[in-house]
Amino acid sequence: MADTLPPNNFIGGDTMPSFDVVSEVDEHELANAIDQVNREVANRFDFKGSDARVGYAEPLMTIYADDEFKVTQVRDILDIKLVKRGIDIACLEAGEVEERGGGKAQQQVTVRSGIEGALAKTIVKKIKSSKLKVQTAIQGDQLRVTGKKRDDLQAAIAFLKEEDVDLPLQFKNFRD
């Protein structure tokens, strides 16, 4: 009887080095930052007696306050807390401050994660036009970059860090 290997066991794997380009937000850190904002707003003298707070229902944060000025103040506190917790505020997309009745105001802030199709295609085009010796494939809401040499992949990461893509990018699953 011949010895056979179980499926998916590769000997001397001929896989090319690769990494994934993603845009993710740490949900746990986001929740902690929102909790900190709500605690700070509840304890601050300039917010005493006001209905200022931040609500969150993925992927939407809603900032509630008495007026547009206080919404802006809460948003500033939120930005500071997010940055302290390592969340890039470029992933936030703020809507207009709206009236919500009773003279109160609110603002919707979308937390963007994942690389949507149009942006993914733009990033692929930028990488191709850079003449780097790598291939890029769109896989759902992330990109897979492969190349023959580790140096090519590192050059691609450096290139993407320099590019302005309007969304914070992370590089994961670097495989040699």
Write out the H or E segment, with its range, that includes residue 76. Answer: helix 68-84
pLDDT number for residue 35: 92
- What is the chain's pLDDT, residue by residue, as a tens digit (176 residues)? 455 544 544 444 457 888 888 888 888 999 999 999 999 988 888 888 888 889 888 888 998 988 888 889 999 999 999 999 888 888 888 888 888 878 888 889 988 888 888 888 888 888 888 888 888 888 888 888 888 888 888 888 888 888 888 888 888 887 87
Angle at 82 between CA 119 and CA 139, to 5 degrees: 25
Look up the pTM and report it: 0.75
pLDDT number for residue 11: 44
pLDDT number for residue 167: 82
User: What's the rounded Cα separation, in Å, for the pair 158 and 73?
Assistant: 36
State the first-to-last Cα distance of the chain, in angstroms, to the nearest integer.
36
Q: CB of 44 within 8 A of CB of 50?
A: no
